[in-house]
Amino acid sequence: MQFETYPFEKLNVLLENIVPDARYDPIALTIGEPQFDTPAFITEALCQNAPLLKKYPKTSGEPDLREAMRGFVKRRFHIELDDSQIIPTFGTRELLFNFPQFLLSDIDEPMMAYTNPFYQIYEGAAIASGAKVLHLHLTKENDFLPRIDETELAGCDLVILNFPNNPTASVMDLQTMAEWVKLALEYDFVLLNDECYSEIYTHVPPPSLLQASIEADNPAFKNVLVINSVSKRSSAPGLRSGFIAGDDRILREYMRYRTYVGCASPLPLQMAAAAAWSDNEHVIAFREKYKENFEIAREVLGIKIPEATFYIWLEVGDELEFTKRLYERYNVKVLPGSFLGREGIGQGFVRIALVENAERTLEAVKRVKACLEAC
């Protein structure tokens, strides 16, 4: 298998011979890793359950964790899932890599579609699955929402959407999602939405594909799946707690597959994750921090505040030269959009992750503005 170099490795190569201006403290806005402390009640739950390390965890997850996840879905999306319709996972990266391999393993010449630019694990999964790839381009011209070409989609076995979107911060509305559900049923492909940024929004809560499935008169979620995670919502990426939910016919067989993968979450992590999934107040507090960061960026850079995520998809012209110049002159790292896309998508943009506190964010965007003005 020949995997593409990861974006952060490409960035290291791009900047390796550049010496940044030491008058500035370094600021990295490259990775979508929240820089806020994990709430104390979560870390306390982890410590309190440390004695459970003596026990093997079940792949299916403990009842407390499954109940907490189902409770989150009910509170947030007003959907009551059966226990058979959700599987806890060790974060979402591992499932995004192994689920396509599971799903496509018995299909001759499988075809997988996903949004472009993208989280690179989608591409890695396609390579590992031996799948032909259809890129769903997200551009300024289409408002960073994929166009629907039924002729192309008719040949797909798995379609991965990602809304709210990383890196463009675009949001897909309920009716448009419902159209995608109808296509999944008509052409019999599995439709999965990566919803890991669903809780980081500025005003209106983004919809879930599960809600869109009900809207499309598909309450059993046939061919429909979603994934989610506490990493962003709870500032707890180290907990590695995610889930996949939806079509129980698919999940039943996927659960059997997972028993062979060996990716069960340790019990102390499961108990801490259950606490995180069960609480909403801390998520509201984090949302306010990201909203404040966007307000600062709007004030300094004149951007339109995105509806969700904590990313700015900033148009800069030559994104590679801008990234190098910003690092050299102002000691700020951002991620070139071309590292996140294929077929020319992402060129001319950089992704800026506003994951720092307000003071650091203000300093960072001032430097970005100075670099833009100097270009």
Structure tokens at 99: 């689920």
When pLDDT is averaged across residues 152-168 and rounded to a whole number, the result is 97
When pLDDT is averaged across residues 304-320 and rounded to a whole number, the result is 97
Are the C-beta atoms of residues 72 and 283 closer than 8 Å to each other? no
When pLDDT is averaged across residues 242-257 and rounded to a whole number, the result is 98
When pLDDT is averaged across residues 237-259 and rounded to a whole number, the result is 97
Domains present along the chain, CATH in parentheses = 7-38+282-374 (3.90.1150.10), 40-279 (3.40.640.10)
pLDDT tier at 352, thresholds 50, 70, 90? very high
* Residue position matching structure tokens 């499935």: 213
Q: What is the pLDDT of residue 1?
A: 81
Summarised one tens digit per residue, pLDDT across range 196-238 is 999 999 999 999 999 999 999 999 999 999 999 999 999 999 9
When pLDDT is averaged across residues 247-276 and rounded to a whole number, the result is 96
When pLDDT is averaged across residues 307-312 and rounded to a whole number, the result is 98
CA distance 52 to 187: 46
Whole-number average pLDDT of the chain: 97
3-state helix, strand, coil in the chain (%, to 5): 45, 15, 40
Q: Would the pTM count as exceeding 0.85?
A: yes
When pLDDT is averaged across residues 314-338 and rounded to a whole number, the result is 98
Q: If we measure between CA atoms, which residue out of 327, 320, 375 comes closest to residue 347? A: 320
- Mapping DSSP onto H, E and C, the string for 71-130 reads HHHHHHHCCCCCHHHEEEEECCHHHHHHHHHHHHCCCCCCEEEEEECCCCHHHHHHHHHC
Are the C-beta atoms of residues 114 and 131 closer than 8 Å to each other? no
When pLDDT is averaged across residues 325-335 and rounded to a whole number, the result is 98
Would the pLDDT of 375 be above 80?
no
Summarised one tens digit per residue, pLDDT across range 60-116 is 999 999 999 999 999 999 999 999 999 999 999 999 999 999 999 999 999 999 999
Q: What burial letters (b/e) apply to 61-87, b meaning 16+ CB within 10 Å?
A: bbebbbbbbbebbeebbebebeeebbb
